[in-house]
Each structure stands twice: as C-alpha cells, then as structure tokens.
Structure 1
Amino acid sequence: MTKTMKETTPKYDVKIHSIHPEGTVRANASVNIHGDFAVRGVKIMEGTKGLFVSMPSYKSGNEYKDICFPCTKEAKAEFDKAVIGAYQQTLEQGQKTAYLQEASSPQQEQGQPVMGGM
C-alpha cells in the first residue's frame, strides 16, 4: 500500500484565539488536522526553557494527563512547530498593526485624513 500525500504530510490549520502577554499561558489555540480532526484547548506556555505546547488535559490525583496527543516524537515535533509558528506569526502581525497605527497617529492629531486599507 502506498501512502497518499495526505497521509505523509500532515496539514495543520492553527487558529490562535487569545494572546496573554503576561503569565505562563501565552496563548490559547485550536488545531484542525487535515480538515478531519479538531483539537481544542491547546495552550502555548512559557517555561524555563522557552515556549512549549500544552495539549488539553485533565487532572488525575496530583498529575495531569493529556486527553489527546501525537503518538510519535516526529509527529509531536511537527505539531508543536505548526502551533508555535502560528503563535509567532500572530505576534508579528500584531506588532505590524501596532506600528502602522502608531505611524498614522501624528497624521490624525494634525487633522489630516488617514488612508484605510480595506
């Protein structure tokens, strides 16, 4: 049996729902895998070694257990790369938007119209 492109190359559609500039939880996300499977409740966390992805979990006694998770080290690395990449892209877009808004502020203060990009 030969693997199709869909089976060999996972396609992750990551949506960043909220960003938190302070604290250990940096963002909340959902991930759609191949358009076939959705994972809600994914968190981007700030740890002592940098950012990492936390899967949805439940508490059992004194420990947390993931509800769903990639089954191989390679799949976990690819999943994490997609989620953290989407988070970083969202941050960059936010910085660009803030920069453009800041750059247009002096024009607004002087009473000059600002051209919109819609």
Structure 2
Amino acid sequence: MKVTAKIVATLTDKGRLKAIATVCLDGEFLITGVRIVDCEKGPGVFMPSRKDKKEEYRDICFPITPELHQKIKDAVLDAFEKQADKADETE
C-alpha cells in the first residue's frame, strides 16, 4: 500500500502539538487531522479523534495492522522533517 503524507499546518504556539497532517492511502482514501505531538520519546503521530458522550476521546479511524501503522507514522514524520528542513533553509 502506498502511503503519502502532507503537512497542512505547523503550530509553534500550541504547546506539545507541533503539526497537523493529511495522509493518503493508495491515492484512494484520505485521512485528515492526523496530529504530530512532541512526546517524551520524540514526536508521536496520532490519528484524528472526537469526544464521546463520556467526554473521552476516541479515534475516528485507525490502522488495524502494525505494518500500516508504521507506514503512516513514517510517512507523516518524513513529511514533517522535510517541512522543517525547508523552513530552516529559508531562514
């Protein structure tokens, strides 16, 4: 499965939230609202979520296999690093 990602927003003033990405699967399925968060072990990738009736957050969509989860994470973090490199070049 081909997984591509694009950073749609970079956030510098939102605490641990660093960016928002969109992920495309095989050019046929789009996932918006994927978050990149600064965690203790480095940047983490989190799928879009909503609050339920119990005020708990639940993922809206998520990869079922560990392999797809890793592909999505790698694509998002690669896009994030490339964007950060471009920003460094323009400064």
What TM-score does the superposition give when structure 1 sets the normalisation length?
A: 0.70
1:1-118 correspondence runs (5 A): 10-22=1-13, 23-60=15-52, 61-98=54-91
Normalized per residue, the structure richer in helix is 1
Runs of 4+ in structure 1 over 3 Å off: none
Aligned-pair distance for 1:80?
0.4
Instruction: Mark the structure with the bigger radius of gyration.
Output: 1
Q: TM-score, normalised by structure 2?
A: 0.89
Q: Which structure dedicates a bigger proportion of its chain to strand?
A: 2
State how far apart, in whole Å, the 2-side matches of 1:63 and 1:50 are. Answer: 24
Amino acid paired to 1:18? A
Q: Following the alignment from structure 1 to structure 2, what is the Cα–Cα distance between the partners of residues 63 and 46?
A: 21
CA RMSD of aligned residues (A): 1.2
Which one-letter code corresponds to 2:17 in the other structure?
V
| Deviation of the 1:62 alpha carbon | 4.1
Structure 1 unaligned runs (5+)?
Answer: 1-9, 99-118
CA contact 2:6–2:22 (8 Å) conserved in 1: yes
Q: Deviations over 1:35-64 (max 9, x none)?
A: 100001111111122111111111122421
